[in-house]
Amino acid sequence: MLLRWFEPNQPDVILTDTDDPAMGLLTKMGLKVPEDIGCAWLSLGENEATRSGIDQNGKLIGQTAIDFLIGMLQRGERGIPETPIRMLVEGSWIQGVTLRAPAQS
């Protein structure tokens, strides 16, 4: 199925949220990463330096959630909050080696 879609569309990059299947499929299609096509992951593991993509900063997400929960307990809060509170822990881009270097302008 990927092959039928790939040939007429000829993408520059594949974005994926899974581990090895994307690379395996591209290799089976005879494509080299990053020479023929780039590949980037939406969620990389901690200390990932090989693959290109986003480090979601999972450790800090967990620490932030625990800090928030401890604060709720210390304030005597129980149950679902009346007003939802959303927190954002920014991820960071890891260049890795599965994308070609950005073009110089």
Instruction: Please tell me the predicted confidence (pLDDT) of residue 16.
Output: 87
What is the rounded CA–CA span in Å between residue 78 and residue 61?
22
Give residue-wise pLDDT tens across range 63-88.
999 999 999 999 999 888 889 989 99
Answer whether residue 20 shows pLDDT above 70.
no
Give residue-wise pLDDT tens across range 28-66.
888 899 999 999 999 998 888 899 999 999 999 999 999
Residue 90 vs residue 81, higher pLDDT: 90
What is the rounded CA–CA span in Å between residue 94 and residue 4?
30
Predicted TM-score (pTM) of this structure = 0.77
Instruction: Please tell me the predicted confidence (pLDDT) of residue 24.
Output: 80
**Residue 100: exposed, middle, or buried by beta-carbon count in 10 A (0-12, 13-18, 19+)?**
middle
